[in-house]
Amino acid sequence: MIPHVTRHHALWVVAGLLAALLAGRAALAGAADQVFQKGAEKPLVVYITSETYDEIKTTGGGPSFNPMGIDHIVYGDRPQAFHEGEEMRKQGRYEEAIRYYEAALRTPPTMTRHELLDPACYYSIALCLLEDGSDLAAAEAKFKELLEKSPKTRLYPDALFGLGRVMVRAKKYDAAVAQFEKLIKIAVEKSWEEWTYQGYLGKAQALLELEKYKDALAAANKTADARYTDIRIQGESIKAQIYVRQGEYAQAAKLLRELVDKLAPEVAREIERNTGSRMQRTEAQCYNALGHCYLKQGTKNKSDKNKSDDDIREAALSFLWTVVLHQRQPAEHAEALFYAAECFTKLKDNSRATELRNELTEKYPDSPYSRQIRPATEAPAKKESAK
């Protein structure tokens, strides 16, 4: 992980400035970069060049320094188009985001550091294509392009993981398992602890889809010792998903409720300290998983209308927790809106169902869930350049 902030703040500044001088260029004419360390409440404010990481190692950071301990970096000289793209992506407006990222890539070389900007744009475009889901081949190509063109970028493990996610979405489950195993191998070799666990989570999900439940559980159990609460919770949620696939709905629901209870204080701290949204997103995923569990149980109990309706009400309530609490998680929020509407339709509350569907299509026009309820003739045309 990154050295402690109070101990190495000066090192970051000196190393960044030294790297800029050694590179024979001004560090930055405009605003400084902000480096957000995992778990830290405030960012480090530094000047970063492509040589900064090496300088930190040689000037005192030592071989234990690991840039993967960085949560994210806000580069001071990234063009406004990039920042606009980030905002659109966070809102789930993927086509608009892609247009902004492509505009950022066209920024004149004299105005930005493309060795830092371009990988971020390629990754963000790939991520948008993945979340949009309508052109998974383009998403796969973009992730591969980043891996080939920028093998030294700090986004390298993100791209390896993203490529595995694309394969899962495209139902290439065997290829996804191999991709996540590749990530695990690289992460272990480089001591990227968190990415090792993320690799096991991805592998477990792919094995789950292959219905190799014993292997999926073994992969998920590898995360039990993770230092990261959200990763441990996600590993446990794989077990709940296995219960659902095997028709053990009561056990799945019990486990998912326990996971939500464990997350509650973590989510509260995250919101209070404004340190990101990892716990909130994990909570949204657990609520959605609980909703799906009750929906499937309702289908199983359809011969008994009262039981089935009770299950569907529980499902609606679970999805509505995400609808109300997690509007800043576009993928999970869109999923919850869609399935909450499905629940209300089953309960013959068409007015509420329509309200939820309207919110979905208005707020997330690029969501794959919006495409399921919007006539094909109204679907927005894809940009050629994004393919």
pLDDT tens for 175-189 read: 999 999 999 999 999
Q: What is the pLDDT of residue 32?
A: 67
CA distance 139 to 321: 31
Q: What is the pLDDT of residue 60?
A: 40
CA distance 312 to 317: 9
Residue with tokens 């399921």: 372
Checking if the pLDDT of 21 tops 60, the result is no
What SS3 class is residue 218? helix
CA distance 62 to 156: 22
Lowest mean pLDDT among 208-222, 246-260, 267-281: 267-281
CA distance 138 to 31: 34
Lowest mean pLDDT among 195-204, 275-284, 324-333, 377-386: 377-386
Amino acid at 280: Q
59 vs 42, residue with greater confidence: 42
CA distance 365 to 360: 7
Q: Count Cβ atoms below 10 Å from residue 137 Cβ, excluding itself.
A: 11
Q: What is the pLDDT of residue 40?
A: 73
What SS3 class is residue 211? coil
pLDDT tens for 233-242 read: 999 999 999 9
Checking if the pLDDT of 369 tops 60, the result is yes
pLDDT tens for 128-172 read: 999 999 999 999 999 999 999 998 888 999 999 999 999 999 999
Task: Locate the domains of the chain by residue range.
Answer: 1-77
Arithmetic mean of pLDDT, 359-382: 78
pTM metric for this prediction: 0.79
Q: What is the pLDDT of residue 31?
A: 62
In degrees and rounded to multiples of 5, residue 33 shows phi and psi of: -80, 155
Arithmetic mean of pLDDT, 32-52: 67
Cα-to-chain-centroid distance, residue 18: 34
> Which residues neighbour 84 within 8 Å (Cβ) at sequence distance 6 or greater?
100
* C-alpha triplet 204, 206, 211: angle, nearest 5°: 90
